[in-house]
Amino acid sequence: MKLPTGESCKGEWSPVPQTQSETGLSSDWDLIYGQGYFLKNIQGSRNRVKAKLVGDKGSEILAEFYRHSEHEATLQGVAKDSAGNVYKITN
């Protein structure tokens, strides 16, 4: 992942269990995609992953990605850095 500042971030992702409702980004999903989006589309999805990333300039990022189905190539996501900036993730 590359931040708008040009900083490159790397890390590992892992699936979010369907029983885990909160990763700390639910309000950010609603901020970017609209009120209620997290509850309607993200919570409980089996196509949801999270990642902790570290930038080459020291930023720490918490990110979450989602696909509507396993066969869909398009993904949506949100991220928040250690400075509190929120990002929309697209591919």
**In this predicted model, what pLDDT tens digit does every residue of 16-73 receive, in sequence order?**
988 887 788 999 999 999 999 999 989 988 889 999 999 999 999 999 998 877 777 7
Q: Say which residue, 32 or 90, is predicted with more confidence.
A: 32
pTM of the entire structure? Answer: 0.83
Query: What radius of gyration do the chain's Cα atoms show?
Result: 13
DSSP string across 5-48 = TS-BEEEEEEEPPTT---SS-HHHHHHHH-TTHIIIIITT-SSE
- pLDDT score at 31: 96
The answer on pLDDT for 90 being more than 90 is no
Q: Hey, where are the domains in the chain?
A: 9-90
